[in-house]
Amino acid sequence: MAKGFYISKGLGILGIVLGVAAVCTIIALSVVYAQEKNKNAESANQAPTSTAPTSTAPTSTAATTLDQSKPWNRYRLPKALVPESYQVTLRPYLTVNENGLYIFSGSSSVHFRCKEPTRIIIIHSKKLNYSATTQGHKVSLRTLEGSKAPDIDTTELVEPTEYLVVHLKGELQVNGLYEMNTTFTGELADDLAGFYRSEYMDGNIKKVLATTQMQSADARKSFPCFDEPAMKARFNITLIHPSNLTALSNMLPKGPSVTYNGDPAWNITEFHTTPVMSTYLLAYIVSEFTPTEEKNPSSGDVLIRIWSRPSATNAGHGQYALNVTGPILRFFEQHYNTSYPLPKSDQIGLPDFNAGAMENWGLVTYRENSLLFDPASSSSSNKERVVTVIAHELAHQWFGNLVTVAWWNDLWLNEGFASYVEYLGADHAEPNWNLKDLIVQNELYRVMAVDALASSHPLSTPAEEVNTPAQISEMFDSISYSKGASVLRMLSSFLSEEVFKEGLASYLHAFAYNSTTYLDLWEHLQKAVNNHTSVNLPHPVRTIMDRWILQMGFPVITVDTKTGNISQKHFLLDPESTVTRPSEFNYLWIVHISSLKNGNKQKDFWLEGASTIHDQFKTTANDWVLLNVNVTGYYQVNYDEENWRRIQEQLQKDLSVIPVINRAQVIHDAFDLASAGMVSVILPLNNTLFLSGEREYLPWQAALSSLSYFKLMFDRSEVYSSMQKYLKKQVTPLFSYFETETKNWTQRPDKLMDQYNEVNAISTACSSGLPACEALVSRLFSQWMADPDNNPIHPNLRSTVYCNAIAQGGEEEWNFAWDQFRKATLVNEADKLRAALACSKQVWILNRYLTYTLNPDFIRKQDATSTISSIASNVIGQNLAWDFVQSNWKKLFNDYGGGSFSFSNLIQAVTRRFSTEHELQQLEQFKKNNMDTGFGSATRALEQALEKTKANIKWVKDNKDAVHNWFTANSN
């Protein structure tokens, strides 16, 4: 699944300077997806919504106390029963019933085999109402193989653990095959979970569709099932649906849809049986959507279709996704040495979808902005997002779908892997974009900001610590996605891509249609290593990787070039924080070190202990050493003062000698080291002096990302004025460069990275008060206001122009943008406007905008939390958004999905400026006040916010005067 809280490149860049989704050394940059990645698991104790009345069995009992001696009070399923197949028929009603509800009806038949003697059947069920059998039970049971099935004693629903429990009068026979049948109804709610409804406007007509989001624990909300990833089975799906709509599922239909029971208003569509698969990967959709597909597909090719609203299909918005899907599928077939396992690959863009995307096998669901692309209105970053999210989801079709992690504690392997290879797949589809370089900025640096906290956690969590839906939801965080991606990239780098791919293919072949743990992957990678004498590891793969998987954090490698001493220690942004989580490895890692000396590559080196001395790290005269070439290692680097000075001199004399990614690294690592008190704050500031001669995107992005922390800490103090003057001085040459390159902003640069840096130049120049930039955005926005039907602003520049123009303007500009947002038919354009509306400097406008976030007629539910986050990123809106979240937490949590990934981002956004004792007290009181409501996926984020606030208080106290003096001295 792709993370759901996405900010376009333009907005992400803008946020660095103007505060829209600001990112920093301490606060994680939420620039990528939407990668997974909004998870939809709901709290296990949330009350079920009401559904339409139906003929039900006698009133069910709910477990009032979780007596662990009763298996139905444990959140994990017993091992006694294993499903083999399901026959599921569902009928969604897309108009309200007499009770004003949207509902669906269904029936299910599950075949399961008994592995251990048992007198109970425990199967997941959530918010379903069951029709009573003739015996008055919720289910009927019969034997398919073996002796006659025992009679049913009672059936009950246990709501806390979300089970349907069948108590039997006798034991099920070991190796017996049984069939259990149910008939039920459920609410087709708009809660973005399970089988749900999505609404959208087509002109002035409201349209309704039925769709699904099962991950991680909501298939049970659609039909009773053994809803754990290792409980794989085959599924036979049948949909009864309005005859004017199309039904889709994981597999192709067995034949054309036919009239249901002679009623021309209804059709029935029966789908082919799925391969053996997990419940969380099921999908079925009923809609009027139409496909974009190849006109003349080759015989034997996988059928590829991009589904969207008819208007978007007719406008060609699915064409780009269609163009890149085939090449990406073929790339992964080669990368995995395994054919795509299904006959078709459907992808569909949905109006209401809580995640960025979801890898349902053969029917991938997306937010519209992650799949559809309009060349006339979408920016290059929108295009990059589409290709990378598609690559992420298609990577899962093998890694995750064909071979699945046995339990959610190993989610990092599934999501981390997809978050790594998405860059490889996207790079194959767009080979001229250098997308592989972006993983350092988007994943590695983003997650280091969180992993450098004492409240971080290891990638792998013991299975027994992850049980409830809420605990599962907590697994969907940046550690699983971005740290997972970073350490797997590191592993691939020191093994070599060839060896990594060989081990990966062996793993997939061995466990196809089965479930695994991460240790199985290590075993197969080790076999590949053993086949290649060219790969020399100091220890087995498992021994090396255990230190990266089983302990949190990462090391800082310190080099003393006077002596050649190289050492490591656990890096913490707050050196005074206490690490309470023990590590069997004592927070030491086995580290693969790559290095340059005076620009020349040196022999790779392994650091196995706390420190050692080696001549290759010793320098003489004017030599300099630089570690972690192209930042393939998941660690940061510190040097002696003299080596830092020589690197600075090299950058100002001839920066091309140092690779682009390492020019970014020099900036990023130094800022983090200063935050940790390991170097003076002056060092990283001095490391930005070369930027006046820098034209590449990654170094500028690293600087702006790091300096955004300074902005967050100081944009409410006198320091900010001198900081703005310095930024204006440094960015003016870059602004002038792009002004010339683009022929006065009328053309776009050829390279993608240059297009991104053009936006950096405008964003930084405008926010630092460069008059030429302010005039540019004002002129462009005024031209649009004068002729609303013809937008003269290039899509790449719209985010930054919109935001700056609204910030400089007043009510007239805001109302114009709001009207354009309401009229926008393309979601990418709507997203740019929605974020830019948060840039206003008028308090009353921002307060009004906050109230709009709770009105789904104004702001879609899926966008509510990201809109609040955008307002919080505006220094004027910070306190307004924080007050709003405090006042409305219960409503936000209950109505907008406390289990979604976006709630973690929301807590980060509203607290990222906190740097006073008063704000710390407010945050502690907020935690206390809402313990009963809970925090869902924001639980860890709240603990991290408390830790960050304490670190911020100390950092500001220690560094404010020095920072103010430096900016003042260097701004002329």
Concatenating the DSSP letter of every residue in 600-653 gives: EE---EEE-SSEEE-GGG---TT--EEESGGG-SS-EEEE-HHHHHHHHHHHHH
Q: What share of the chain is helix, strand, coil (3-state, %, to 5)?
A: 45, 20, 35
Rounded CA separation 580/454 (Å) = 8
Nearest to residue 799, comparing CAs of 835, 823, 824?
835
DSSP 495-548: H-HHHHHHHHHHHHHHHTTEEE-HHHHHHHHHHHHHT-TT---SS-HHHHHHHH
Helix (H, G, I), strand (E, B) or coil at 466: coil
Q: Which structure tokens are listed for 291?
A: 């496909």
Torsion of CA 193, 195, 201, 205, to 10 degrees: -150
Q: Exactly one of 162, 187, 393, 502 is catalytic; which is it?
A: 393
Token pair 């009181």 is at which residue?
A: 925
Q: Determine phi and psi for 749, rounding to 5 degrees.
A: -60, 155
Structure tokens at 337: 């040495």
The single-letter DSSP state of residue 50 is: P
Of 306, 382, 478, 357, the C-alpha closest to 937 is 478
Q: Residue written as tokens 């009806």?
A: 105
Which runs of E-coded beta strand occur in 344-434?
Answer: 344-350, 357-358, 363-367, 403-405
Strands (E) in 632-774, as ranges, are 636-639
Stretch (H or E) spanning 32: none
CA nearest neighbour of 232 among 117, 364, 86, 334: 86
| Contact yes or no for 314/162 (Cβ under 8 A) | no
The Cα 154–Cα 146 span in angstroms is 23
Residues 6+ apart with CB under 8 A from 928: none
Q: Tell me the DSSP string of 903-921.
A: HHHHHHHHHTT--SHHHHH
Neighbours of 444 (CB within 10 A): 24
Structure tokens at 432: 């001229």
Q: What whole-number distance in Å separates Cα of residue 901 and Cα of residue 898?
A: 8
* Backbone torsion region of residue 3, taken as left when φ is above 0, otherwise alpha when ψ lies between -120 and 50, otherwise beta: beta
**In contact, 164 and 123? CB cutoff 8 Å:** yes
What is the rounded CA–CA span in Å between residue 678 and residue 800?
A: 35
Exposure of 659 in the CB half-sphere (CA atoms within 13 A): 16
Cα distance between residue 767 and residue 807, in whole Å: 10
Alpha-carbon distance of 896 to 110, in angstroms, equals 33
- How many C-beta atoms lie closer than 10 Å to residue 61's C-beta? 12
Residue 130: how many CB atoms within 10 A of its CB?
Answer: 22
Q: Give which of 866, 882, 785 is closest to 830, Cα–Cα.
A: 866
CA separation for the pair 763, 833 (Å, rounded) = 16
- Pick from 865, 868, 880: nearest CA to 936: 865
CB 924 within 8 A of CB 946: yes
- The pairing of beta strand 81-92 with beta strand 234-242: parallel
At position 956, the amino acid (one-letter code) is V
Show the 3-state SS of 849-866.
HHHHCCCCCCCCHHHHHH
Q: Is 393 a catalytic residue?
A: yes
> Active-site residue numbers?
393
